[in-house]
């Protein structure tokens, strides 16, 4: 039996028999799923409205919109991102159901083409989803994550820029987003260096601006709110452009890669070398296996006139892709900082 947070002694439902049936149905759904049915039953059994649930979550430091809670109940979306899973853990306590009983019903991400996996650069900047959970959770609780599930990622372009000595200058990102509900007014960006040091400095292209910024210099992590020029209406499309610039020189790089865990519409990866310091060779690689030890297919790339090489995934299923390069005996490996 799962007592109501509001009144542990109060029966659920309009009568003793009705309350017992509701309890049995909730217990059954928590064991079998599906997630949306179990969540609806847990909300109904709690006697709380979505507005009251949102308020209780907010008091616990978890921000989420009523629209997102409603979309989880309807089955339109699932809490699959790290920030959403943190909210779900708090939601289980608010609803008075056993810990991890709802999260266990989520299963693997569904192939609906909206959740783009994060970019991970083995030698330099890395997406904050690879940060230890406690550090990530601490940073995310300090920013407003309520619109994360309400923005569909239509397109992502990530560009790693290198200087004349083969060192990382920074990472440029361009995102095309669509609002699925009324109200989204910000995007949360996060990056982490793979070694201790000052976090990358965020620069945002107008008309958008930087909101709250959380930095952890011990692990090189920065999480920031990018504020839109206006709240979006459902169906609105917006372009975000921003750059994470290294404040101190980074060692030369030899690879840029990402694992796409679900199908994506468009994921474009670019490495831009300084024209005066081009690698000896450069290859694009891709494999359907997410295991880093899997042998990928490769194709030779040649930098264009400005020193760029590209790798793109269009309507691609789960895969690992990237760009690797070999400096050979060229100057970037021998010239000091």
Could you tell me the residue ranges of all domains in the chain? 16-105, 119-333
Neighbour tally for 2: CB within 10 Å: 17
Cα-flanking dihedrals φ and ψ of residue 229, to 5°?
-75, -10
Does pLDDT of 325 surpass 60?
Answer: yes
Helix 35-46 to helix 66-74 angle (10° resolution) is 120
Going edge to edge, which strands form the sheet with 308-316? 201-204, 237-245, 168-179, 151-162, 264-272, 308-316
Neighbour tally for 336: CB within 10 Å: 5
Mean predicted lDDT score pLDDT of the chain: 78
pLDDT tens digits for range 278-300: 999 999 998 876 555 556 678 99
Q: pLDDT band at residue 249, thresholds of 50, 70 and 90? A: low
Residues 35-58 as b or e (16 or more Cβ within 10 Å = b): bbbbbbbbbbbbebebeebbebbe
pTM above 0.85, yes or no: no
Rg of the chain, C-alpha, whole Å: 23
Q: pLDDT band at residue 130, thresholds of 50, 70 and 90? A: very low
CB–CB of 175/191 below 8 Å? no
CATH topology of domain 119-333: Immunoglobulin-like (2.60.40)
Cα-flanking dihedrals φ and ψ of residue 317, to 5°?
-80, -170
Tokens representing 316?
Answer: 């691609």
Q: How far apart are CA 186 and CA 201, in angstroms?
A: 18
């Amino acid at each position: 039996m799962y007592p109501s947070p509001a009144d542990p002694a109060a029966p659920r439902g309009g009568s003793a028999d009705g309350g017992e049936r509701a309890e049995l149905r909730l217990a059954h759904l928590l064991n079998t799923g599906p997630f949306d049915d179990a969540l609806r039953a847990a909300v109904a059994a709690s006697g709380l409205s979505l507005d009251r649930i949102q308020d209780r979550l907010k008091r616990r430091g978890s921000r989420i919109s009523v629209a997102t809670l409603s979309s989880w109940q309807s089955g339109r979306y699932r809490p699959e991102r790290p920030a959403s899973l943190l909210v779900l853990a708090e939601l289980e306590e608010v609803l008075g159901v056993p810990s991890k009983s709802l999260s266990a019903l989520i299963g693997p991400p569904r192939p609906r083409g909206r959740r783009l996996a994060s970019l991970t650069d083995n030698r330099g900047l890395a997406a904050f989803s690879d940060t230890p959970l406690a550090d990530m959770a601490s940073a995310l609780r300090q920013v407003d994550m309520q619109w994360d599930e309400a923005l569909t990622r239509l397109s992502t372009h990530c560009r790693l820029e290198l200087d004349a000595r083969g060192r990382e200058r920074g990472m440029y990102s361009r995102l095309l987003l669509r609002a699925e509900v009324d109200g989204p007014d910000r995007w949360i960006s996060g990056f982490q260096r793979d070694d201790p040091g000052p976090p990358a400095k965020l620069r945002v292209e107008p008309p958008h601006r930087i909101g709250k910024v959380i930095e952890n210099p011990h692990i090189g992590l920065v999480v920031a709110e990018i504020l839109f020029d206006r709240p979006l209406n459902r169906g609105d499309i917006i372009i975000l452009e921003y750059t994470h610039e290294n404040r101190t020189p980074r060692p030369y790089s030899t690879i840029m890669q990402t694992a796409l865990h679900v199908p994506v519409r468009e994921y474009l990866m670019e490495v831009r070398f300084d024209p005066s310091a081009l690698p000896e060779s450069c290859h694009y690689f891709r494999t359907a296996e997410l295991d880093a030890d899997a042998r990928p297919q490769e194709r030779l790339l040649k930098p264009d006139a400005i020193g760029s090489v590209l790798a793109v995934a269009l309507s691609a299923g789960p895969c690992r892709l990237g760009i690797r390069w070999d400096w050979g005996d060229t100057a970037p490996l021998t010239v000091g900082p």
